[in-house]
Structure 1
């Protein structure tokens, strides 16, 4: 019985760590660095539509993480992709999907997410 609890604990720790650790292929940029490159890239807000409507980075397209599988064709894998969400965890998960299942190579996300953004926004 103790070994079952040990395995369940190990799996839980693995899933938590995996959710918040940034993959090596994903560029993790602070706002200033992100701002320098996002206009030349596909800027994708992976928050839900209601979050997007309360305010988003000027020029961003809303493709929520919950719809990324169905709407991946809207993202060109041959162009740079800049992702952001509210805090950074959903954009990491979106990047994992886009890398593994859609073939995107040039992936960047906003460290700290939209809550750390101080630039222009559109409501």
Structure 2
């Protein structure tokens, strides 16, 4: 599924907003499958928080994990299914610390995710 990507603006060397190319790389952290990521900022750059655009291909999954901080996800396009329910284009998900879920997209999805702290895999899953 081809998604229309949002326009990403960042500050250039003169402190002005400038359009930035969105480049995805394969994403297999925490045993994710069939997904690509464009990091906006990484946990190792901030001391824990992170934000990224994740493009789930049809059939893409994320295994069971627990959130050590808040997670905010905005579904830019497509459909995303979690243990708690299904969300679609323009929906927001706010998950509190301690919440657990796995997720998948049967048709594909483009999702903006912001993590307060990194998620951790749930052992034995």
User: If the length of structure 2 is used for normalisation, what is the TM-score?
Assistant: 0.32
Rg (Cα) greater in structure: 1
More helix by share: 1
Structure showing the higher strand proportion among its residues: 2
Given the two structures, how large is their TM-score scaled by the length of structure 1? 0.32
More relative contact order, 1 or 2 (CA 8 Å, 6+ apart): 1
